[in-house]
Amino acid sequence: MLALPERAVQFGTGAFLRGFIDTFVDEANAVGAFNGRIVAIGSTSSGRDRALAEQDGLYTLVSRGLVRGVPHEERRIIGSISRALSATDGWSAVLACARDPNISIIFSNTTEVGITLDESDEFDAMPPRSFPGKLARFLYERADTFAFAPSSGVIVVPCELIEANGARLRTIVLRLAERWSLGAEFVRWVESSVRFCNTLVDRIVPGGPTAEDGASLEAALGYRDGMLTTA
């Protein structure tokens, strides 16, 4: 599984994506249903991208809940993240991902305020300030690289907790394309070859454990995990 090619990127490195999207991709890989890994892109200066890189993208997920009415706990190492990049310090590497023909899906969770139009965003910024700005620049890099071929289109799966998140993100990307004068060919490519999905997420991801819970888990696991995630 660790040798699978990169087939997705995600904007965001927080606990929710680790306990939700990254976990489901890991499960899909385990049964041969996706066969790809994710490049995680840190959009803020949280340092999570560095922490993930130090652990080769690996982290432990502790899932707790009821299974057929019985309390259940499962611990497993998630290996769906191939590497983590910083948009702030490694924007050129992020754009290189846009030029990878294997990339087919873009995930995101940039908080509920992430999907907003920043009137002052700039195409040539390294990187653009807002998430929609980063996404629009990423999509243009991809479209231009592959001469706006329909086959180079991607699926965008935002996980921000707002109604019609995909439709809203699409509208902002197209508005930025107009503001940045990216051309009618790019607009047609986005409209016809990029699918923006509206999503409703359904998993509770508290994030990292409390200090007491974390100490107990580390004692049981036998190792220290700086990205330990509970769900």
The pLDDT value recorded for residue 10 is 97
pLDDT tens string 169-183: 999 999 999 999 999
CB 215 within 8 A of CB 174: no
Rounded CA-CA distance 173/164 in Å is 14
What's the pLDDT at 43? 80
Superfamily (CATH) of domain 6-221:
NAD(P)-binding Rossmann-like Domain (3.40.50.720)
pLDDT score of 46: 76
Which pair of tokens denotes residue 216? 């107990």
Global pTM value: 0.95
Alpha-carbon gap, residue 95 to 138, rounded angstroms: 6
Among 15, 109, 58, CA closest to 225: 58
Q: In what order do the strands lie in the sheet with 6-11?
A: 81-86, 37-42, 6-11, 105-108, 155-158, 195-196
Instruction: List the structure tokens of 231.
Output: 């769900």
Q: What is the DSSP-derived secondary structure letter of residue 204?
A: -
How far apart are alpha carbons 225 and 194 in whole angstroms? 37
- Specify the pLDDT at position 105: 98
Counting residues of the chain whose pLDDT is more than 90, the rounded percentage is 93
What are the tokens at 32?
């041969």
What are the DSSP calls for 29-91, one per residue?
HHTTSS--EEEEEE-SSSSHHHHHHHTTT-EEEEEEEEETTEEEEEEEEE--EEEEEETTT-H
**Structure confidence at residue 213 as a pLDDT band (50, 70, 90):** very high
Question: How far apart are the C-alpha atoms of 163 and 97, rounded to whole Å?
Answer: 29
